[in-house]
């Protein structure tokens, strides 16, 4: 006896013995689950067998897909939503709204920090006292207009640098390059030690790129530490002074992130004392370009610190 398939649109006929096999394995109208286990509103999707090929080819959210910008592979959904929001090769517009350039997401931060014509920058003579700020594109005009101002500022500055040196407050500049790698590897970066004055206290600073203590994993931590010297008997102990660390804003001579590490009569103020500083110096999230504050501390994967030491010595001739 021949029977028809129980899916009313199906034209199949056969023996009753083969009906079950037909429905289970070949009927084009049987609902089957997507082999990619895709879901819709958290319910597993089932499709008629006849539509499966088309579903897998062009509709299934879990079908494999490559990001069109960087080629990373994943499901269609992940590569077009989550990944798309952070793909470093996807072209996006510059963060400065007047700039019409579009570039790979991964390049935007460098573009804004070092080349965008519309980034607000300080006059390149800000280090000698010109306080003007302008869009980068207007810099040339400003320089032409203010030649005399800049020249006289230069003169004044030469004098004040001499004064700074007399007071023993000369600054030391420290660059922390390959920041990303140092952060990844939890590096405690210690640059060359320095002396507060010739034959004075020997110190080092330490920058923990991936944080330490309360700042572990979230902040950059900074510390200062006293080091041993052969003439330590001739120095006055405990060391009393302030180590000032400034993380320099690369966009203008303002908005630097500073901390004063004060050494008084405590265990840190002696040789052999542990490093003393601030574990939660700056959150990682604040290092990159911030349009509102016009700050950017991390440029070319490098942080720039200025270090100054002020000794609290009321009778410097007795040292
Ligand atoms: Zn059928
Ligand atoms: Zn599917
Ligand atoms: Zn991508
Ligand atoms: Zn731009
Ligand atoms: Zn200027």
Give the H/E segment covering residue 246. Answer: strand 241-247
Taking the centre of ligand 5 as the mean of its atom positions, its distance from the CA of residue 160, in whole angstroms, is 18
Mean pLDDT of the chain, nearest integer: 89
Nearest ligand, measured from the Cα of 154? 5
Kindly indicate the confidence band of residue 318, based on its pLDDT and cuts at 50, 70 and 90.
Answer: very low
pLDDT of residue 165: 53
Taking the centre of ligand 5 as the mean of its atom positions, its distance from the CA of residue 201, in whole angstroms, is 38
Give the H/E segment covering residue 150. Answer: helix 147-166
pLDDT of residue 274: 84
Taking the centre of ligand 1 as the mean of its atom positions, its distance from the CA of residue 8, in whole angstroms, is 8
Using CB atoms within 10 Å of the CB of residue 40, give its burial: 0 to 12 exposed, 13 to 18 middle, 19+ buried.
exposed
pLDDT of residue 230: 87
Chain centroid to Cα 278, Å, comes to 19
pLDDT at 277 over 50: yes
Taking the centre of ligand 3 as the mean of its atom positions, its distance from the CA of residue 72, in whole angstroms, is 6
* Cβ density class 104-143: b for 16+ within 10 Å, e for less: ebebbbbbbbeebebbebbbebbebbbeebebbebbeebe
| CA atoms of 40 and 61, how far apart (whole Å) | 9
* Helix/strand/coil for 94: coil
pLDDT at 275 over 60: yes
Taking the centre of ligand 4 as the mean of its atom positions, its distance from the CA of residue 18, in whole angstroms, is 69
Mean pLDDT of 217-228: 95
pLDDT at 32 over 90: yes
- Taking ligand 1, which is a single-atom ion, which protein residues have CB atoms under 5 Å away? 5, 7, 10, 12, 27
| Residue that the structure tokens 């062009």 belong to | 58
| CA atoms of 183 and 289, how far apart (whole Å) | 18
Taking the centre of ligand 1 as the mean of its atom positions, its distance from the CA of residue 109, in whole angstroms, is 60
pLDDT at 42 over 50: yes
Q: pLDDT digit string (tens) for 223-270?
A: 999 999 888 888 888 888 899 999 999 998 899 999 999 988 777 888
Query: What angle is formed at CA 154 by the lines to CA 152 and CA 157, rounded to 5 degrees?
Result: 110
In the chain, % of residues over pLDDT 90? 63
| CA atoms of 182 and 212, how far apart (whole Å) | 13
Q: pLDDT digit string (tens) for 152-205?
A: 888 877 766 555 554 555 788 899 999 999 999 999 999 888 888 877 889 999
Mean pLDDT of 300-306: 93
pLDDT of residue 153: 84
Name the residue among 296, 288, 208, 223 with its Cα closest to residue 256: 296
CB 194 within 8 A of CB 170: no
Taking the centre of ligand 5 as the mean of its atom positions, its distance from the CA of residue 127, in whole angstroms, is 10
Domains of the chain (ranges, CATH numbers): 2-62 (3.30.40.10), 169-318 (2.60.210.10)
pLDDT of residue 161: 56
| Residue that the structure tokens 């349009």 belong to | 291
pLDDT of residue 319: 40
Taking the centre of ligand 1 as the mean of its atom positions, its distance from the CA of residue 3, in whole angstroms, is 11
What is each CA distance from 136 to 104, 158, 297, in whole angstroms?
21, 27, 18
């Amino acid at each position: 006896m021949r029977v028809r398939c129980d899916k009313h649109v199906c034209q199949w006929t056969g023996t009753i013995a083969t009906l079950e096999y037909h429905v289970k394995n070949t009927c084009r109208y049987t609902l089957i689950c997507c082999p990619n286990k895709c879901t819709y509103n958290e319910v597993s999707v089932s499709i008629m067998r006849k539509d499966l090929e088309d579903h897998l080819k062009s509709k299934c959210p879990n079908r494999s897909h490559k990001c069109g910008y960087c080629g990373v592979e994943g499901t269609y959904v992940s590569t077009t939503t989550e990944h798309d929001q952070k793909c470093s090769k996807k072209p996006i517009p510059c963060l400065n709204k007047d700039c019409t350039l579009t570039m790979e997401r991964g390049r935007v931060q460098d573009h804004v920090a070092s080349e965008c014509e519309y980034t607000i920058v300080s006059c390149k003579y800000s280090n000698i006292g010109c306080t003007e700020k302008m869009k980068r594109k207007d810099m040339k005009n400003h320089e032409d207009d203010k030649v005399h101002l800049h020249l006289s500022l230069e003169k004044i500055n030469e004098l004040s640098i001499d004064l700074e040196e007399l007071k023993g407050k000369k600054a030391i500049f420290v660059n922390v390059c390959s920041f990303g790698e140092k952060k990844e590897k939890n590096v405690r970066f210690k640059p060359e030690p320095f002396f507060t004055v010739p034959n004075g206290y020997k110190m080092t600073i330490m920058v923990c790129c991936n944080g330490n203590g309360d700042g572990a994993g979230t902040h950059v931590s900074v510390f200062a530490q006293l080091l041993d010297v052969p003439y330590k008997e001739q120095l006055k102990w405990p060391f009393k002074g302030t180590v000032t660390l400034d993380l320099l804003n690369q966009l203008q001579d303002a908005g630097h992130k500073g901390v004063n590490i004060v050494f008084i009569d405590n265990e840190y103020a002696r040789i052999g004392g542990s490093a003393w500083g601030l574990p939660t110096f700056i959150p990682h999230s604040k290092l990159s370009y911030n349009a509102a504050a016009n700050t950017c501390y991390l440029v070319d994967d490098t942080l720039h610190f200025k270090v100054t030491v002020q000794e609290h010595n009321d009778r410097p001739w007795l040292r």
